[in-house]
Structure 1
Amino acid sequence: MARLRSLGHGTGRECRRFGGRRVSDFGAVRLDEHGFSLLLEEHERVILGDLAAQLIQVLEDPEDPVAERLYPDAYPDDAEASAEFRRLTRGDLDDARIAGATLLLETIPEDQDAPILPLDRAGAERVMRSLGDLRHVLAERLGISVASPEGDPNDQFTMLYDWLGYLQESLVLALVSGDEESGRLARA
């Protein structure tokens, strides 16, 4: 597996102007007048696209054991109430998660020479949630939990888990900055 950028790699905000346009990079995310764009190397595009497709498969299989991680009991002390809650909400949650993973897939063109498509704020938030879902799936597969939060730092899946956290962190920073910028513009 090609080496992925580590958590915290390049998370400093870089701002510059191109032809009077303001462009800000937040680690793996660029924010400009077109929206939020993931900044991925070729091998990262392939990996993220593959992971998004796998997430859709997991979500479409209600028997997959990772579902317990994505859909914890709403009422841990009441199995019947938890089952009813899951029955009432699971379909809508699956649909939203599949839509987010599909958007992530659509954002990354198969043609490696094509630019990654920019996202509006709502799309960036959906992709951010999909990255969290991917991290939950990997955490379940790796046995990472609150009780044992660390995986083997040299394990490829642990590196993948950390890289997804880096992408998610980059999106959060860009979204927060977008809010701050919107606030400044609204007050001006």
Structure 2
Amino acid sequence: MDICRGYGENVKAASPESHFSSFMAKSPILRKERWVTVAVRNPHTPGKDVATFLSRFCTLLTDPAHIIDVNGFWTGKWSVLVELHRDKSSSDGVRHLPQNFFLGSSPGIIDYLDLPQTCRKCGELGHWMKNCKSTACRNCRVTGHDTKDCPKKKACNLCGLEEHVYKDCPQRVKTYTAALKGAQVKQGSPIFNSDI
């Protein structure tokens, strides 16, 4: 990766008499677009919910598509092209997506080229979850307290608002059962045949 980054920087800084001045660099590392793979544990998680979650952190350039294996079966993964947001404080200039997430109680994992490896417990760089010594809250994603001791209200992990949880989120795709529960049933007089 350092070779690609160095090449891109050399081409940008090339003087007119340099050999690099004849080249045009399109380094994949300097671009903001990434093909993202989203693995979800729950096979009933709708692609629209995956898109809604990702749109909190980046701009979606394509809709999520199923990744199909050689036998034609869905692998439980989605593929989507996204544009990462700029972040000048980051070493590579982009704000990276969270490596893991939950939609309700269903876990998901995000992966793409050059995603920094972070601890899945506290979100910090430089160590793995099995070596993590800190206590981290899954609700507010802050270290220092457990989820059960979190001072904040539970927030929706789909849209991020504290007003509701995932199961009540208005942006969530409704299941058939949820749609039936929310449907207004008109109460009228019973229909029967009085001629019998």
Do the structures match in fold with TM over 0.5? Answer: no
Question: Between Structure 1 and Structure 2, which shows a larger proportion of helix residues?
Answer: 1
- Which has more radius of gyration? 2
Of the two structures, which has the highest relative contact order with CA contacts closer than 8 Å and spacing of 6 or more? Answer: 1
Question: Between Structure 1 and Structure 2, which shows a larger proportion of strand residues?
Answer: 2
